[in-house]
Structure 1
């Protein structure tokens, strides 16, 4: 099952973030089901390219995966980092700040009322949501 895929990927993973592509792809395909048409894009946002140098230094390489509908509009995004970031509060805080900035790049084109984002540090995940109506990102910021 899915747990075995994650375990195998972690044991055999020497590619940084990339060793989690397979298990997260399997998980999301299962969650969406075969009747949902979506495309997976690896994406570099303007936030990544033109953000503060200190932010880039603190967070390292950022892997953003955007799931888009058939019209190329974002319906979900996933910010993926490897396990090495889990034990450092400053890196978790940086991931939280980065997730909130992502909405500035993606929310306008989102065709649905709420855009969800997943911040993944290895096998640890935090789920975010921003409602287009009120503009508030939930949950609240990491202290």
Structure 2
């Protein structure tokens, strides 16, 4: 099970030649529109945070919607972020916070967010029934050194064959939940 060559090539090139977050937007939009095609009524959009009086130029996640309702979101950083534990903590905090932006508008029982560092990703999920996010936050300690966001959480690589299958399974699960709404 492989991605089309145009998807793989885009990721290989961006991983090789850049550390800029914005350079990942193109490959991810290509991949997301492959997984969630417009022909199935999905829309992939880069969201921007609205600040009083203007729209911020700092993007928030890519959100995939169907008929205007969010079904999954993707937050990504460049590959170099994976090697920095502090960045992993910031990303983990940001992912947990992002779910707050969606509560009340989630139409499906399990809402997923993908945190992507380069081509490596961690699957976060929010259970609407339990109002809980997995993986959970790991609290810091005053007495011990605790890695509150171990980089091992980002153990899936989009370019590894078995991980592609896992991502496609996740997409199939999301689409099945969406289909059950009809």
Band the TM-score falls in, shorter-chain normalisation: 0.7 to 0.9
Could you list the runs of 5+ residues in structure 1 that have no partner in the other structure?
50-60
Q: 1:65 is matched with which residue? A: 62
CA RMSD of aligned residues (A): 2.4
Please give the per-residue CA displacement for 1:86-118, whole angstroms capped at 9, x wherever unaligned.
111111011111101111111310111111101
TM-score of the pair, normalised by structure 1: 0.76
SS in structure 2 of the partner of residue 24 of structure 1: helix
Alignment equivalent of 2:29, drawn from 1, 5, 25: 25
Aligned residues of 1:75 and 1:116 also touching (Cα < 8 A):
yes
Q: 2: CA distance between counterparts of 1:62 and 1:86?
A: 20
Q: 2:127 is matched with which residue? A: 131
Aligned residues of 1:62 and 1:80 also touching (Cα < 8 A):
no
SS in structure 2 of the partner of residue 140 of structure 1: coil
Change in Cα spacing, 1:77 to 1:129, as seen in structure 2 (3 Å) is same
Could you list the runs of 5+ residues in structure 2 that have no partner in the other structure?
52-57, 139-147, 149-182
- Structure with the greater alpha carbon radius of gyration: 2
Deviation at 1:18, TM superposition (A): 2.1
Q: How do 1:1-143 residues align onto structure 2 when only pairs under 5 Å count?
A: 1=5, 2-13=7-18, 16-33=20-37, 35-45=39-49, 63-70=60-67, 72-141=68-137, 143=148
TM-score of the pair, normalised by structure 2: 0.61
Q: 2: CA distance between counterparts of 1:62 and 1:85?
A: 17
Aligned residues of 2:15 and 2:79 also touching (Cα < 8 A):
no
Aligned residues of 1:119 and 1:126 also touching (Cα < 8 A):
yes
Q: 1:54 is matched with which residue? A: none
SS in structure 2 of the partner of residue 44 of structure 1: strand
